[in-house]
Structure 1
Amino acid sequence: MVEAAAPGPAGRGPARRGPADDESPPLLVIAGDIGGTSSRLVLALLDGAVIAEAEGPGANLRSSGAEAFDHVAEATREVLERGRLALGGPGEVAAVALGISGAGPARAAEVQHAVGARLRELGIEAARILITDDLHTAFLAGGVGDDGLLVLAGTGAVAVRFHDRQAVARRDGMGWLLGDIGSAVWLGRRTLEAVAADLDGRGPRTRLTEEIGGVLGLDLRAGRLPPSRTGDPRQDLIRALDEQLPAGAPAALGRFAPVPGRIPEDPVARRILDTVITHVLDTVEALDPQAELPVVLAGSVLTGPGPIHDEVAAGLRAARRSLSVAPTGLPGALLLAREQAGGALR
């Protein structure tokens, strides 16, 4: 069992078949960019185009729980089926390379075992599977070579210096409880804390309160339109978060991450944004004080439109640093999958 294709210079769509293809199934690779909130997989011909794609929920063990690995298996099954339909028949998966958020050294063996067991049920041998963290694939997707800095802020946040593709220094990436400063979860949490402080009189008044009320469908300021369900906007906020945020899934806090960037003129929102921007620039300076290495920005917080991306990019350019933006780690995962296939087929 298995099916078709992947991104490559040939572009999208099935590659032409030669006489040999009539006798044996085409060789395929699967590449995946598995973040904390969403996953994207592609199926490609070993040396040709992407022929199938699939998307699914995130799969970070820390922020999404153990069912994260079931999401990976389901997305793989879906991309294989779409590939089979696109090719008009089965293919042979020569290699799989998945960059998975949270698959760093602390949990690498656990992630490798769990994902390998699930993909084995789809007919993919463990020897053909390469599991790495999404930092490795994101850095390679930047196209800056084998040496440089990666600064990633998505569901989590981390900065890594790479030499010969190996991580040799690292800042943060310690998870939402211990760090991940500037991540979507961090931004969402700080935004909600500012709103709670406003409502409770412990902090300054901020337009973040109205913005979060709009996201949650609440009138947090006056409790009139719609009418307060509890008679106390503070309790309305607590109740709405209890109802709308899944227990044990802090990644859901990332839903509120874009809010400060919508109102950068608000002093409280501005302080949250400035904390992130300053942290990123200070981190880059700490990892490469001589400004010798190219910098790859990755993750939705740093690659999406808005003041964080714009001001971080401006700060890096002002320091005369070379900058690359990698909105997805898929190109890096695809590179690794093709390299893995070469080794597996020897």
Structure 2
Amino acid sequence: MTPTALHLGIDAGGSRTRAVLLDAAGRAVGRGEGPGANPAGAGTAPAAVRLAATASAALGDRPPGAVTACLIGLAGHRALADPAAFADRFRRALRLEAPVLLVPDAVPALGTAAPTGTDGTVLVAGTGAVCVRVAGLRAVAANGGLGWLLGDEGSGWWIGREAVRRAHAQPDGALGSLVRAHCAAGSSDELLRWAYDGPPRGLAALAAPVCRLAATGEPTARAITDTAADHLAALARATARPGQPLVLSGSVATADGPVRTRLLHLLADLDPLLPRTDPATAAARLAANAACHDLPAL
């Protein structure tokens, strides 16, 4: 590895994308942030453009040719019909000369708490919810991840949906008041229009205030967050292998609050780990490791 080597890591989720540029000593020398780049939601071509724009922000005034390795952890990886073509589209959009490794977002998520190159399981609960067992740079088993239409139980979207349902049924309670204020809905009909007219991530934005309300002991909100944790724990138990690391990832699973507290209790025997760094930094470290071991790019 040359002293001037730069390693680019990208964490691309459904709601936002982050990029980190590390130098040969592992120091962060650039960061970028942009909108979500999940190809299942944004579309393949727009997702590649968003990835390139976020990476360009991390590069700053450095030429793309200075990057010697790049790894992208991509939500919606399974939705790609041709991952190699997608990686090439991104490479051309950024004018990148380095190889690009395109992996599921669970791969760098594992690296936020487990040593680089370790096999293990990641429970991701943010906008959506999925649990993935990782070996090397590949997902070898997964549960959940069906998206908002067919699944994502326990996710931010699911918490938001449940909150809207309860608020519609009981508009005068504490949860109903919170939801109607968040949605600027003066009536039940306006609440329904807000829910149906907006994107699924709009419902996911309700998760944080609902969790804060649950933390005060409000029973309806607490029932939602308890059930969310139960769903997520079931995903983890169906996927994880005893003796391997289990890492929690995503805002719902890792933010200090009732979901995380209950998850840590329900999964105590699996010794779940919380992130020590961010996924984009972990992706950049994995890119450096891949470059050292001459791993093939997509």
Q: TM-score, normalised to structure 2's length?
A: 0.86
Per the alignment, do residues 175 and 331 of structure 1 end up closer, same or farther by CA in structure 2, a change over 3 Å counting? same
- Structure 1 counterpart of 2:104: 133
Q: 2:56 corresponds to which residue?
A: 77
Write the distance in 1 (CA, Å) between the matches of 2:156 and 2:64: 40
Aligned partner of 1:29 in structure 2 is 7
Quick one: distance in 1 between partners of 2:135 and 2:290?
Answer: 20
- The match for 1:324 among 273, 278, 283 is 273
The 1-side partners of 2:184 and 2:267 are apart by 38
How many residue pairs match? The answer is 289
Deviations 1:48-74 (A, max 9, x none): 421111111111122334423221111
Say yes or no: does 1:173 pair with 2:140. no
Code of the residue aligned with 1:159 in structure 2: it is: C
Based on CA coordinates, which of the two structures has the bigger radius of gyration?
1
C-alpha contact (below 8 Å) 2:15/2:36 kept by paired residues:
yes
Question: Structure 1: how far apart are the matches of 2:232 and 2:107?
Answer: 19
Q: Is residue 125–residue 154 contact of structure 2 (8 Å, CA) maintained in 1?
A: yes
Q: Does 1:149 align with 2:121?
A: yes
What is the CA distance between 1:151 and its match in structure 2? 0.8
Structure 1, unmatched stretches of 5+, are 1-19, 200-204, 221-232
Q: Equivalent residue of 2:94, what SS?
A: coil
Question: 3-state DSSP class of the match of 2:33?
Answer: strand
Which aligned pairs between 1:159-308 and structure 2 lie closer than 5 A? 159-164=131-136, 166-199=138-171, 206-218=173-185, 220=186, 233-241=187-195, 245=198, 249-264=199-214, 265-288=217-240, 291-308=242-259
Shift of the 206–107 alpha-carbon distance from structure 1 to 2, 3 Å rule, reads farther
Specify every segment of 5 or more residues in structure 2 that has no aligned partner in the other structure, as ranges: none
Counterpart CA distance in 1 for 2:106 and 2:81 is 13
> Alignment RMSD, CA only?
2.7
The change in CA–CA distance for 1:77 and 1:284 in structure 2 (over 3 A counts) is closer
**CA offset at residue 141 of structure 1?**
2.0
Q: Quote how far apart the aligned CAs of 1:208 are.
A: 1.7
Identity of aligned residues (%): 31
Q: Give, in angstroms, the shift of residue 301 of structure 1.
A: 0.5
Evaluate the alpha carbon distance shift between residue 263 and residue 149 of structure 1 in structure 2; reply closer, same or farther with a 3 A threshold. Answer: same
Q: Are positions 1:50 and 2:28 aligned together?
A: yes
Give the partner amino acid of 2:286: L
Amino acid at match of 1:49: R
Structure 2 SS opposite 1:114: helix
Once residues 73 and 166 of structure 1 are traced to their aligned partners in structure 2, the CA distance between those partners, rounded to angstroms, is 23
Q: How does 1:62-101 map to 2 (within 5 A)?
A: 62-66=40-44, 67-80=46-59, 82=60, 84=62, 92-101=66-75
Distance 1:198 1:293, change over 3 A: same
Asked if the contact 2:125–2:251 (Cα under 8 Å) also holds between the matched residues in 1, the reply is: yes
Q: Per-residue deviation at 1:116?
A: 2.3
Deviation at 1:239, TM superposition (A): 4.3
For residues 272 and 41 of structure 1, do their structure 2 counterparts lie closer, same or farther at Cα, with a shift above 3 Å needed? same
- The separation in 1 between residues aligned to 2:181 and 2:124, in whole angstroms, is 29
Deviation at 1:300, TM superposition (A): 0.7
Report the 3-state secondary structure (helix = DSSP H, G, I; strand = E; otherwise coil) of the residue aligned with 1:141. coil
Q: Match for 1:216: what amino acid? A: C
* Structure-2 residue corresponding to 1:10: none
Normalised to the residue count of structure 1, the TM-score between the two structures is 0.75
> Does the CA-based 8 Å contact 2:144-2:235 persist in structure 1?
no
The Cα of 1:163 is off from its aligned counterpart by 4.2
User: Using a 3 Å threshold, how does the CA distance of structure 1 residues 252 and 314 change in structure 2: closer, same or farther?
Assistant: same
- Are 2:17 and 1:39 equivalent residues in the alignment? yes
Distance 1:288 1:242 in 2: 35
Aligned to 1:116: 88
The separation in 2 between residues aligned to 1:288 and 1:344, in whole angstroms, is: 26
* Structure 2: distance between partners of 1:309 and 1:344: 35
SS in 1 for 2:273: strand
| Residue type at the aligned position of 1:38 | R
SS at match of 1:59: coil
CA contact (8 A) 1:206 1:267 kept: no
Deviations 1:74-106 (A, max 9, x none): 1122222x253xxxx8862111111011113x4
Per-residue CA deviation, residues 267-295 of structure 1 (Å, 9 max, x unaligned), is 32222112111122233333347x43331
In structure 2, give the amino acid aligned to 1:313.
L
Q: Deviations over 1:273-328 (max 9, x none)?
A: 12111122233333347x433310001101112110112113322x3x32211263
